[in-house]
Structure 1
């Protein structure tokens, strides 16, 4: 079932379709202006494309690749290669089964802004639940050990370091190392007051027409943060800590940088991000590890 859902559909002339898709600025704007929760969030498009600050064809090509349209609709153009999804090897040991099942049933509701399509939307309601159970069982059967992290004199690694995260220190790191450049800061965090730059001060004093005339509209525009979804329902402390240590290992097409964190610092940030886990984690997925029939159905 899983491989069938991901089968490729070859469609000729995708580049021409790209141009058609982009020419209408009204269509592109409508695509981006809807409520964040159910609309795929593409940072580059949200920042520039929706405001007509780049050529509409370029904006459309960005959407084609970032939304992985060409993963199904073939295009003989390397510039249109799709953004690939996360690595599923070992996913059964990284993510919560209840979260996976809920995500399969309604991707945008579980992860606002996700670019994953609702693959089960075409099935009758009674089949959607069964399909989600099968795929979840198959994914949960994909188990592998976490990478071994070797300690050294310069990089001490405490035993089971992911269990000993310091949430308070993790909160400080989250707000200081660059996470809030893309993600929302915590409203309760008291940040240091930074003196506005001369440009910021000037932008504050200009109206919209003056900003446009000076080419500063982009500088004055609030940039939408990348949604984080409900991390405590998705990860364990161990799996999130390992993700923070090496994001590209499981998300090679992701935009999150590797901050070269120490294992202790990664565990601290994970502890803060998962500080409400006991209130949100849900393991209501199928009993996948031992159900061979369900695993085969999902495969």
Structure 2
């Protein structure tokens, strides 16, 4: 048995000890982890048992592919949870993670950087010379917050921002309120923010192990791990250094916060939601953004590790591939499966196949293709057989195709050829059977039709109604019963104006513009740099950022020397400050400053067969650019 930390005693029901499998506190941050023994092995894919002639499915478990999904935290009932969050110890909360603060460069005033990135002038107004120099980081837009943010996240985040997301730059603005008043205020704000929505009903995204695997690969390849903590070691690295966690921008509990569809929208255009944000667009297409979002929110699909929680869903899963030259080979997930069942010369395709997208389709067909040549499909799922007997399956294709039933090859129509039909027979029992169809097209015409003939019906195209697959809708974790209350929402709107929320956030599309009714001393009026937000224990209306001692000292020095902020920066210093604020130095170096840290360099890889060395795989330097 493990002794319960003080932190846990304020969050979970009081017991002397807690058993293996319950969360434990690690390091000095509010990070809950499960012992390794409590985790299930990762799931690669769902497939019929080898040689099976029944409607049973086996879950194939391997040590590769989809990452393990952590069991949900055993949070108490919502009312108790909110009370616990309101009274939880905050001594373990991480200090705000400010981009650029983790790696300080010569010539950068740490206090000035923090003053701008924490947007202190939103409450402590300053003149234009100061604002122009700071270029403060604006808070996220909250119009349509009800579409993006779950009520359970809003409730816990507003009650204790630094407990819900260690390292957040949002302060606790309600800490000065008595517990009962704070609980009522939090609930009113939750209703107000939840009312800011489009009115469109959200459609859950289906869980897809192959999409999770694709998202995991993209997360470690397209630049995400330049700023965020990687989960896979880079090539040649045995384990991820602890230093990367300290330097990385925290993601928080995303599975608790939002949906796959909303996160994918954000990944496509981060600055639409966060105009003052520091995350750039990575030029992701819709399918790439969906894959990364599915990977980051994989805890929303417990069926990935527990097949008993999977549901039977209409339609077949499909994976679409394109064949391209001079690219890094993909040899895992659906690509490996496609090559294993490739209806042609797999050696000619190996190293050229790119998994482009996945989805659900009513029956096999090539309508989801993005081009007319050099592509392929893999369809998989279940087919419902209406009666016992012998069935003949046909594929008519240009170029090759194959059809498998319960893992056995029934129709072999492979090779490069014009429209050709081939067939095969198999005896089946009534019920669901596993089916896979593979297809590829190189050039010329393209066609795929799949038909069958049974003991009680003539040859016909297989109708969509007989296909299904096992899956699960991805929904945010920790769901609570929530019914929007207009009276509480109106009260929350008032709190939003009066408690400082409107000073940072804008809600421009909700009737009359919200005008901040929260006023504090201007920057020029701050006479005591050791008081207010910078006090050891902020009191009164002062918000609490949970600053580290070093951050507090740096900010105090900046406030004491605030007259310097009125002086514009010379051009080179202005460029240096901008590159630091936007974390450009995470990728690029300029004048011998910046560039990827050694622990991240292994994640920068070249795509293609030509090896250009570091110049071909590392981001370009910015020395002399713009001069």
Distance 2:217 2:141 in 1: 30
TM-score, normalised to structure 1, is: 0.67
Q: Equivalent residues in 2 for 1:164-203 (5 A)?
A: 166-186=211-231, 189=232, 191-193=234-236
Quickly say closer, same or farther: Cα 1:190–1:240, change in 2 above 3 A. same
Task: Say which structure, 1 or 2, has more relative contact order (CA 8 Å, 6+ apart).
Answer: 1
Distance 2:116 2:267 in 1: 25
Measured on the aligned residues, the alpha-carbon RMSD in Å equals 2.6
1:14 corresponding residue in structure 2: none
Q: Does 1:274 align with 2:297?
A: yes
Q: Deviation of residue 38 (structure 1)?
A: 2.7
1:287 corresponding residue in structure 2: 483
Contact 1:237-1:271 at 8 Å conserved across structures: yes
SS in 1 for 2:220: helix
SS in 1 for 2:102: helix
Contact 1:163-1:238 at 8 Å conserved across structures: no
Moved over 6 A (4+): none
Q: Equivalent residues in 2 for 1:131-150 (5 A)?
A: 131-144=185-198
Aligned residues: 218
SS in 1 for 2:284: coil
1:296 corresponding residue in structure 2: 490
Residue from 100, 107, 115 that aligns with 1:54: 107
Q: Deviation of residue 284 (structure 1)?
A: 2.8
Q: Deviation of residue 169 (structure 1)?
A: 0.5
Q: Equivalent residues in 2 for 1:1-299 (5 A)?
A: 37-48=93-104, 53-55=106-108, 58-76=109-127, 77-78=130-131, 79-144=133-198, 163=206, 166-186=211-231, 189=232, 191-193=234-236, 224-278=247-301, 281-284=477-480, 286-288=482-484, 291-299=485-493
Q: Deviations over 1:8-54 (max 9, x none)?
A: xxxxxxxxxxxxxxxxxxxxxxxxxxx984311112122107xxx43
Contact 1:85-1:251 at 8 Å conserved across structures: yes
Contact 1:36-1:112 at 8 Å conserved across structures: no
Quickly say closer, same or farther: Cα 1:226–1:36, change in 2 above 3 A. farther
Q: Unpaired segments of 5 or more residues in structure 1?
A: 1-34, 147-159, 195-220
Q: Deviations over 1:48-74 (max 9, x none)?
A: 07xxx435xx22111111111110001
Highest CA radius of gyration, 1 or 2? Answer: 2
Distance 1:36 1:45 in 2: 20
Distance 1:287 1:161 in 2: 19
Distance 1:284 1:258 in 2: 33
Q: Deviation of residue 259 (structure 1)?
A: 0.8
Q: Deviation of residue 277 (structure 1)?
A: 1.7
Distance 1:120 1:101 in 2: 12
Q: Deviations over 1:129-153 (max 9, x none)?
A: 110100010000001278xxxxxxx
Distance 1:241 1:102 in 2: 23
Distance 1:285 1:224 in 2: 37
Contact 1:136-1:286 at 8 Å conserved across structures: no
Q: Unpaired segments of 5 or more residues in structure 2?
A: 1-90, 238-242, 303-475, 494-627
Distance 2:206 2:285 in 1: 14
Q: Deviation of residue 83 (structure 1)?
A: 1.5
Distance 1:193 1:54 in 2: 35
Distance 2:186 2:143 in 1: 19
Distance 2:199 2:278 in 1: 25
Q: Deviations over 1:154-189 (max 9, x none)?
A: xxxxxx895476000000000000111111111xx3
Distance 1:285 1:85 in 2: 28
1:21 corresponding residue in structure 2: none
Q: Deviation of residue 190 (structure 1)?
A: 5.7
Structure with more of its chain in helix, by fraction: 1
Quickly say closer, same or farther: Cα 1:94–1:113, change in 2 above 3 A. same
SS in 1 for 2:225: helix
Distance 1:39 1:117 in 2: 10
Distance 1:281 1:38 in 2: 23
TM-score, normalised to structure 2, is: 0.33
Contact 2:207-2:301 at 8 Å conserved across structures: no
Distance 1:36 1:121 in 2: 16
